[in-house]
Amino acid sequence: MNVFLWTVAGRLAPVFGAARAMKLGRTRQQLAASGLGWKAEAGDSTVRLIGAAEVAGALGLILPALLDTAEVLVPAAALGLAVLMAGAAVLHGRRKEPQMIAVNAILLALAVVVAWGRLGPYAF
Protein backbone atom coordinates (compact mmCIF):
# COMPACT_ATOMS: atom_id res chain seq x y z
CA MET A 1 0.00 0.00 0.00
CA ASN A 2 2.93 2.34 0.68
CA VAL A 3 4.05 2.00 -2.94
CA PHE A 4 0.50 2.68 -4.13
CA LEU A 5 0.28 5.86 -2.01
CA TRP A 6 3.67 7.05 -3.28
CA THR A 7 2.51 6.37 -6.84
CA VAL A 8 -0.73 8.29 -6.42
CA ALA A 9 1.04 11.22 -4.77
CA GLY A 10 3.71 11.10 -7.47
CA ARG A 11 1.04 11.32 -10.17
CA LEU A 12 -0.95 14.07 -8.46
CA ALA A 13 2.03 16.37 -7.86
CA PRO A 14 2.85 17.03 -11.54
CA VAL A 15 -0.83 17.47 -12.41
CA PHE A 16 -1.14 20.25 -9.86
CA GLY A 17 2.28 21.60 -10.76
CA ALA A 18 1.25 21.95 -14.40
CA ALA A 19 -1.99 23.64 -13.39
CA ARG A 20 0.04 26.07 -11.32
CA ALA A 21 2.30 26.90 -14.22
CA MET A 22 -0.70 27.82 -16.32
CA LYS A 23 -2.29 29.97 -13.63
CA LEU A 24 0.85 31.82 -12.61
CA GLY A 25 2.42 32.12 -16.02
CA ARG A 26 -0.44 33.60 -18.04
CA THR A 27 -2.79 36.52 -17.73
CA ARG A 28 -6.43 36.02 -16.87
CA GLN A 29 -7.42 36.92 -20.42
CA GLN A 30 -4.98 34.39 -21.92
CA LEU A 31 -6.36 31.68 -19.65
CA ALA A 32 -9.94 32.52 -20.59
CA ALA A 33 -9.05 32.49 -24.30
CA SER A 34 -7.48 29.02 -23.90
CA GLY A 35 -10.82 27.57 -22.78
CA LEU A 36 -10.70 28.24 -19.05
CA GLY A 37 -13.69 30.57 -19.08
CA TRP A 38 -14.17 30.90 -15.33
CA LYS A 39 -10.87 32.74 -15.09
CA ALA A 40 -12.31 35.71 -16.97
CA GLU A 41 -14.79 36.10 -14.11
CA ALA A 42 -12.19 35.77 -11.33
CA GLY A 43 -9.78 38.44 -10.25
CA ASP A 44 -6.07 38.20 -11.01
CA SER A 45 -5.25 37.77 -7.34
CA THR A 46 -7.77 34.92 -7.02
CA VAL A 47 -6.25 33.05 -9.96
CA ARG A 48 -2.74 33.56 -8.58
CA LEU A 49 -3.83 32.46 -5.09
CA ILE A 50 -5.31 29.25 -6.49
CA GLY A 51 -2.12 28.66 -8.48
CA ALA A 52 0.04 29.21 -5.39
CA ALA A 53 -2.15 26.82 -3.36
CA GLU A 54 -1.80 24.19 -6.06
CA VAL A 55 1.99 24.45 -6.15
CA ALA A 56 2.16 24.32 -2.35
CA GLY A 57 -0.02 21.21 -2.40
CA ALA A 58 2.04 19.58 -5.15
CA LEU A 59 5.27 20.18 -3.24
CA GLY A 60 3.64 19.11 0.02
CA LEU A 61 2.65 15.75 -1.42
CA ILE A 62 6.25 14.78 -2.14
CA LEU A 63 8.93 16.86 -0.43
CA PRO A 64 8.22 16.29 3.29
CA ALA A 65 8.26 12.51 2.90
CA LEU A 66 11.18 12.56 0.48
CA LEU A 67 13.24 14.69 2.84
CA ASP A 68 12.05 12.69 5.87
CA THR A 69 10.96 15.80 7.71
CA ALA A 70 7.50 16.92 8.87
CA GLU A 71 5.74 14.02 7.16
CA VAL A 72 2.42 15.23 8.59
CA LEU A 73 2.47 17.84 5.82
CA VAL A 74 1.79 15.13 3.21
CA PRO A 75 -1.78 14.38 4.34
CA ALA A 76 -2.32 18.07 5.07
CA ALA A 77 -1.34 18.90 1.49
CA ALA A 78 -3.59 16.14 0.18
CA LEU A 79 -6.52 17.47 2.21
CA GLY A 80 -5.85 20.99 0.98
CA LEU A 81 -5.86 19.81 -2.63
CA ALA A 82 -9.08 17.88 -1.98
CA VAL A 83 -10.71 21.07 -0.69
CA LEU A 84 -9.51 22.94 -3.79
CA MET A 85 -11.00 20.26 -6.03
CA ALA A 86 -14.29 20.31 -4.14
CA GLY A 87 -14.47 24.07 -4.67
CA ALA A 88 -13.54 23.67 -8.33
CA ALA A 89 -16.28 21.06 -8.81
CA VAL A 90 -18.85 23.44 -7.31
CA LEU A 91 -17.66 26.24 -9.58
CA HIS A 92 -17.81 24.04 -12.67
CA GLY A 93 -21.25 22.81 -11.59
CA ARG A 94 -22.50 26.36 -11.51
CA ARG A 95 -21.03 26.93 -14.97
CA LYS A 96 -22.62 23.70 -16.25
CA GLU A 97 -19.30 22.09 -17.23
CA PRO A 98 -19.80 18.38 -16.46
CA GLN A 99 -16.55 17.23 -18.05
CA MET A 100 -14.56 19.44 -15.69
CA ILE A 101 -16.58 18.20 -12.70
CA ALA A 102 -15.50 14.66 -13.59
CA VAL A 103 -11.82 15.68 -13.65
CA ASN A 104 -12.22 17.48 -10.32
CA ALA A 105 -13.96 14.46 -8.78
CA ILE A 106 -11.17 12.11 -9.85
CA LEU A 107 -8.45 14.40 -8.49
CA LEU A 108 -10.44 14.91 -5.28
CA ALA A 109 -10.82 11.14 -4.80
CA LEU A 110 -7.11 10.53 -5.35
CA ALA A 111 -6.16 13.29 -2.91
CA VAL A 112 -8.55 11.86 -0.29
CA VAL A 113 -6.98 8.40 -0.74
CA VAL A 114 -3.52 9.84 -0.08
CA ALA A 115 -4.77 11.78 2.95
CA TRP A 116 -6.57 8.72 4.34
CA GLY A 117 -3.56 6.47 3.87
CA ARG A 118 -1.03 8.89 5.31
CA LEU A 119 -3.19 9.94 8.25
CA GLY A 120 -4.29 6.43 9.07
CA PRO A 121 -2.91 2.97 8.63
CA TYR A 122 -0.03 3.83 6.29
CA ALA A 123 1.49 6.87 7.96
CA PHE A 124 5.23 7.37 7.64
Asked if residue 124 is part of any domain, the answer here is: no
| Selection from 119, 120, 19, 18 nearest residue 75 by Cα | 119
| pLDDT at site 89 | 93
Asked if residue 72 is part of any domain, the answer here is: yes
What mean pLDDT comes out for the span 85-108?
92
Separation of first and last alpha carbons in the chain: 12
For the segment 11-62, what is each residue's pLDDT rounded down to a tens digit?
999 998 887 767 667 766 777 676 666 666 677 788 788 888 999 999 999 9
Q: Please indicate whether residue 40 or residue 3 has the higher confidence score (pLDDT).
A: 3
Domain of residue 69 covers 2-119
The total of structural domains in the chain comes to 1
For the segment 60-81, what is each residue's pLDDT rounded down to a tens digit?
999 999 999 999 999 999 999 9
pLDDT confidence bin for 114, thresholds 50/70/90? very high
Angle at 12 between CA 80 and CA 91, to 5 degrees: 55
Asked if residue 56 is part of any domain, the answer here is: yes
Q: In this model, does residue 6 exceed pLDDT 70? A: yes
| pLDDT at site 123 | 84
| pLDDT at site 14 | 94
Q: How far is CA 116 from the centre of its chain?
A: 16
Residue 80 is classified by DSSP as H
| pLDDT at site 35 | 66
